[in-house]
Structure 1
Amino acid sequence: MRRLRLSPHNKLTRSLFLVISLLFFSLIASYLVVQHLIVGPSLQQFNKVLAYEIRTFIPEELILVDGTPLKISPALRNKIYNELGISFFDKKTALKEGLHWAKEDDELSQQMSEYLNGETVIWIESTLEYPVLWINTYISPSLWIRVPLTELGENFLLPVYRQAIIFIIIVIAFFWLYNRFQNRPLNEVEYAARRIGKGVIPPPIPESGSSEMRSIIRAFNQMSSGIRSLDNDRTLVMAGVSHDLRTPR
């Protein structure tokens, strides 16, 4: 069985490198598309809902549709915050809890400012488990709101990445099998050429593969046939010379 040989000058190696490079760039492009078309819009929609929640539950009382004021009890407010995973800190405590590692997002800040009709800044903290939003609004400037985005955790895009990796493996395996099938006639020509180099004239190689490969095999068979004819002629000449030398005149 012929062993796999990978070298920079090997056609298979170059082809594999090209395919892997294309798949790698395709994976990067897919990641960017997912970030802009799935994660981005999801964050924007979540930002809008979060703005409504902030506008609703931070004030001490709500104004109903009919104009009636309704006070929100601290117990109800805390229960809602606990359900949403929202927590509140002053700036000093927020810096210790992760705000120090966060980065400001201008786009989300601008959107939240429009939703709340006032200046609002949003910082995003990237953790190993999930991203975290830190929000500071004009409604309560001394208060920092921490909102964990648990739905966008590390497993959010895992199915996409898993399918992409499986697809890459399938493509590489298919390309490998296809390349071996295509190169089989060429390997036979190489093996026959080595036998000729050792003085053994091989039988004609069956023509198979692409039209270019068939032309190469046909030319090789013609060359092999010519070498066989020359070898037969040489054998006859040597036999004649040997006979003449043994026959006395």
Structure 2
Amino acid sequence: MIRLSHFNKNILSLLSIFILLGCNSDDSIEENEEILINNPISDYWDDAREIYQLEIIDDINHFNYALEDLDSLQILEIAKNIRSVDQLSIPEQDSIFNQYQIKPNTGYRRTRLTFKAVDNGSIGAQETINLILPSSNANELYNFYSTNPFVFTQSAPIITNWVDIEFLENKNQIYLKNRLENISFIPQVIVSPSIAGTSSKIKFERFPNFNIITFRMGWGDCFSGCITKRYWKFETTEQSAVLIDSYFANDF
């Protein structure tokens, strides 16, 4: 067990960010996840959450940019649009969901937050590095967070002092990024897709009266970008979907 009494103010600040994010609960999230349970779209929730987080990353004007939790109603909307394609009775539906099993998490396993801690001489810097990097305290850190809704992993090479955080709930990683950047011995924080090959992707585009969902499957050397890419494009709402194009191309 980690003894917080041994930490100085800066370490407590770092820990409190993660603890608060882990303990805070938005009633609306619970209510909307109950809606999800009552609708057969649970298979699409993680994919929809991934798409929504990626929408926010580069849009500082997005209403959800500075909020701690991702808007579960927005995630639910995306999930229902994906479901509307899955409910079609056409060969393309079978190709996407059964033959190729296209999901964002195939290529974007999960959006991750990565931060770097350095000893800049400030109070608490070296102690924090000793805590979050492999040391006698590493296992204590993992045990400490074992009941919280996120996971720490060590980046490679370890000598670079980078640490990854992967959330298991609807937490907005941009919010956490902004909090971490206020700590003097954390000079760099990055939120980005966690790449595990790029063969399968989903692109979601919003329009006033409908949305466009494009599914992509790639073949051949996909860690370098895929040699061949096949696309299926649909016009969707939460209740309906229409195939509007199917083609081969280089990228979205």
Indicate whether the TM-score tops 0.5.
no
| Greater percentage in helix | 1
Q: Relative contact order (alpha carbons < 8 A, sep ≥ 6): 1 or 2 greater?
A: 2
TM-score category, normalised to shorter length? under 0.3
Larger radius of gyration: 1
